[in-house]
Amino acid sequence: MIYTVTLNPAVDKTVEIPDFAAGKVNRVVSVREDAGGKGINVSKCLRALGAESVAAVVLGGDGGDRLEVLLQQENMQILRAEISAGETRTNLKIVNPETGENTDVNEPGPEVKPGELRQFLVRMCQRIRPGDLVVLSGSLPKGAPGDTYKVWTERLRELGAKVFLDADGTCLAEGIQGKPDFIKPNASELARLMGRQFETEGQIIAAGRELLASGIENVVISLGSEGALFLWKEGFYRAKSLDVPVHSTVGAGDSVVAAMVYGMEKGLSMEEKIALAMAMGAASVMQTGTQAPDAKTVWNLAKQVEFEKIKKV
């Protein structure tokens, strides 16, 4: 079974505003609400591909009830952790359809007590079986210890699960100490993690090799419009981004994680995983809000993905 964990989820409210600008009256032309949070986005993409997952989420108050309804509307399996106080947040996504620019206005979310997170981990571990795949992604809620992802990763791996970690800053730095099986930083996140800037692709690859040497088996580094690097101990690959119309970049990275999880569950080859990941990312930005891309579109795009093995590093 695949599990996605979202400890700081949100109701994502996406509005389209042509010629959006701060300091003036802006008129909304469309509005949509989605269940949001990086792990939830992964679950939505997996479902679009035909793979089942359980979305483990921390929910609170009326906002949490609203988010649960949105998940149920998508026929999502849910493992809900209650919190003693506070409201699940609402994040505002402002899209300018004229320029394709996205502006995020994210609420901080409720405070979660460490004991509540420990109990949630216990409930998760009671369900985990060897070979299960678990995605830990997104920010931590207020009140969560900085080493939360490290603790969760270590415990889940002890039970035989494969752990995918997609986070930034302290969450990523602490989380990789637990030796997850997969991480997906972008170039900026990788620079913050390694404590140095990169001027060349070779320097980025060298940093990825350091992470592989530390015990992480799969490292995918997003380069935005320039594509992505896929690093395994068996080989390194460079993939090009597809040229598609961009409506929203929110959740694009999550769709790439979903593709890699799907690929591992289905036993796809390295090359098939790369093509699917790049196609999922491209199909995702073609959507509005944080809705999952259509599977037919994804598989058609996968046939167009160009990538090559990096022979010299």
Give CA–CA dist 232/238, Å, rounded.
12
Residues present in the chain in total: 313
Question: Which residue numbers are catalytic?
Answer: 254
Task: Give 3-state DSSP helix, strand, coil % of the chain, rounded to 5.
Answer: 40, 25, 35
Give CA–CA dist 81/5, Å, rounded.
11
CB 34 within 8 A of CB 289: yes
Distance from CA of residue 147 to its chain's centroid? 19
User: What type of residue sits at position 280?
Assistant: M
CB 176 within 8 A of CB 166: no
CB 73 within 8 A of CB 65: no
Give CA–CA dist 219/233, Å, rounded.
10
CB 179 within 8 A of CB 216: yes
CB 167 within 8 A of CB 139: yes
Helices and strands (H, E) in the chain, number of each type: 10, 14
The neighbouring-strand residues paired with 11 are 35, 90
